Amino acid sequence: MSWGVQGVEVHFGKVTALRDVDLALPPGEVRVVVGGDGAGKTTLLQVVAGSLRPQSGEAAKPPAARIGYLPASSGIYPDLTVGENLDFAAAAYGVSGQPARERRRLLLTRAGLDGVERRLGGELSGGMRQKLGVIRAMLHRPELLVLDEPTTGVDPISRRGLWWLIAHAAAEGSAVLVATTYLDEAERAAELLLLDRGRVLASGRADEVVRGMPGRLFAGDGAPAAEDARRAWRRGRRWRLWCPDGDADVGSAWQAASPDLQDAVTVALLQEGLDDGEGGVA
């Protein structure tokens, strides 16, 4: 069965956190929601996980006992040990017996936490805490696994370990939704959803999002002219210039460039800003 949301709207007073958002979460797949600060990622995940009821729209989700959720704060008790944190989750979700003990051991090993079972949650490094949060969320083999920025602030090695766990959960049949600010993580997901100020700017497979980018993209070594500044941004040592009109003449200093997901996302955000009469992203 596929979980997800349809036509979801969430408002906090006058602030719109989500506007008409659709998202399907089929079992065995990892879907990623990307967006900057204040995009509405956490709000969407809370609606999907069931901790927030939207003002309109529908959310299809399994019962609470079959949902695994990692909040942005990791949800780890700092004054309980690694083992006690897992014991609490196991008891709350009614997981017990020999198979459960074996799963717990397996997850601890795969997360690289098997040697720190007696360490307090508050004494763990950021990466370890996030990994503990992820294995706590997937301990009971949830049908729906919702992870809010599990890799934010985590070193590259730990990020790799976390993604191994996430892929493992999907391989076990869980529908997985991950919020992230890292586009390389979005590229490895089956599909992504790009949010900005509660609105969906783009969705689909990463290559579809790239192919769907409007206009043309150019790369150059020099800074853009003042009138082009709102459509230009730096990438590494070079500049990117986006032209909504595919036939525009940008001069010989600019060469046509093949966009990747980062370019496509930047263009989507840029286009949104230009439509709203705001400045560029450089």
Partner 1 sequence: MRAMIVKEFLQLRRDRRTLAMMIVLPIMLLVIFGYAASFDVSRISAVVVGAQAKNFSQRLKAPFSLVGTYPGQGAAAARRDLRDGKADVAFVTGGGSTLVFINGADLFSARAAETAVARLSAPGADMPRLQAELKKVLPPGAEIKLVAPVPPRVKILYNPGLKTTLVMVPGIAGVILVFVGTLIASLGVVRERQAGTLEQLAVMPLSPWDVLIGKIAPYFAVAAIDLALVLAVGMWLFGVPMRGSWVLLILGALLFLFVTLSIGVLISSVSQNQGQAMQLAMLTVLPQILLSGLIFPLSSMAAGVRWISYLLPLTYFVQISRGEMLLGQPLRDLWQPFLYLAVLGLVAVTFAILRFHRLLNPSQGLGAPRRVQSAEARP
CA 22 vs CA 57, 201, 211, 222, 232: distances in Å: 9, 12, 21, 41, 31
Q: Which is nearer to partner 1, 4 or 220 (CB)?
A: 4
Distance CA 43, CA 256 (A): 38
Residue 115 Cβ, how far from partner 1 at the closest point, in Å? 24
- Pick from 9, 24, 29, 52: which binds partner 1 (CB under 8 A)? 52
- Pick from 60, 72, 100, 253: which binds partner 1 (CB under 8 A)? 72
According to the binding rule CB under 8 A, does residue 78 interact with partner 1? yes
According to the binding rule CB under 8 A, does residue 127 interact with partner 1? no
Q: What are phi and psi of 7, to 5 degrees?
A: 60, 35
Q: Which is nearer to partner 1, 42 or 266 (CB)?
A: 42
**Residue pointed to by tokens 């065995």:** 28
Q: Are the CB atoms for 154 and 130 separated by under 8 Å?
A: yes
Which residues have a Cβ under 8 Å from the Cβ of 185 and sit 6 or more positions away?
Answer: 32, 151, 159, 163, 178
Angle at CA 257, nearest 5°, toward 251 and 263? 115
According to the binding rule CB under 8 A, does residue 25 interact with partner 1? no
- Pick from 76, 132, 170, 201: which binds partner 1 (CB under 8 A)? 76
According to the binding rule CB under 8 A, does residue 157 interact with partner 1? no
Q: How many CB atoms sit inside 10 A of residue 137's CB?
A: 26
- Pick from 2, 6, 73, 255: which binds partner 1 (CB under 8 A)? 73
According to the binding rule CB under 8 A, does residue 40 interact with partner 1? yes
- Pick from 21, 25, 30, 93: which binds partner 1 (CB under 8 A)? 93
Q: Which is nearer to partner 1, 94 or 246 (CB)?
A: 94
